[in-house]
Amino acid sequence: MLVSAVQMDVRTQRFEENLETAYRHIREAVRRGSALVLLPEMFTTGFAYPDLEELARATYDESCRFMSRVAREGKIWLVGSIPEPGAGGGVYNTLMWYSPQGKLAGAYRKAHLFSPTREDAYFIPGDEVKAVGIDGAVTGGLICFDIRFPEMARSLALQGAQILLVAAQFPHPRAMHWETLLKARAIENQVWVVAANRIGKSGELEYFGRSMIVDPWGEVAAAEMAEKEAVVTERIDLGMIERVRAILPCRRRPDLYGDLAGTPAAGPQQGQSG
């Protein structure tokens, strides 16, 4: 499977311009033969505080139509994060999967909101983590800050995810964190990680890009390290997952540390220290 991550500048509140930019890069990914294309976080509007709820309601339907049409036109899986208005008010940061038939196949609402930039004041947190099956593979979605929570990536891997898709607006000065966390999520779960980060500037924040595709061994298979718009493309070998797991079996011990369904590990036995 050939996959692409789009690295682009996201212009705050410039909806039509962002769609045009995304479309141009998606067409390049299609030209290369990509079966799946990942876009950055909030690629349609950026974090347009304090008008986010109004903007979400004004753009949501058109954003969905755009993703559906472009996925169908390119015969690709198209994944990207957009602002979704909540039924009772507020906004979700929602990652959406559109199939080559233009159908919505899955959605994930960002669970971990980044309080230093006041995401928690403007967004509603999601409450579900689920894997999404695509043609011949299982994917799991994470949005930016989510990559700091290894339990989430592990939960997706336990659901069968072979490819973790990370849509982000990850800024300076934390480029080292970004690279290290992406590699860690790949290594500890022995899966592929495809990450699309934006470039450019929004308010006081500057974004470094470094979109990349990391293999199950933790090696960077493809990346754009320069702060410029680009399409990062790599052929994903799903068979590598089982080969890596055969070389280095990582067998879990939930009896020691609990599982991800909330069941605690057994406490200390009599005569043992805690």
List residues with catalytic annotation: 41, 110, 144
Written as one string, the DSSP assignment of 11-29 is -TT-HHHHHHHHHHHHHHH
CB-side neighbour CA atoms (13 Å) of 31: 8
Q: Could you tell me if 172 and 206 are in contact, meaning their C-beta atoms sit under 8 angstroms apart? A: yes
Q: Are 98 and 68 in contact (CB under 8 A)?
A: yes
Instruction: Specify the 3-state DSSP secondary structure of 100.
Output: coil
Amino acid making up residue 254 = P
Q: Following DSSP, what letter does each residue of 119-181 receive, concatenated? A: HHHHBPPP----EEEETTEEEEEEEGGGGG-HHHHHHHHHTT-SEEEEEE-PBTT-HHHHHHH
DSSP states of 54-98 as a string? HHHHHHHHHHHHHHHHHHHHHTSEEEEEEEEE-TTSSEEEEEEEE
Of the candidates 196, 251, 246, 243, the residue with the CA atom closest to the CA atom of residue 215: 243
Query: How many Å apart are CA 73 and CA 76, to the nearest integer?
Result: 8
H or E segment at 32?
Answer: helix 15-32
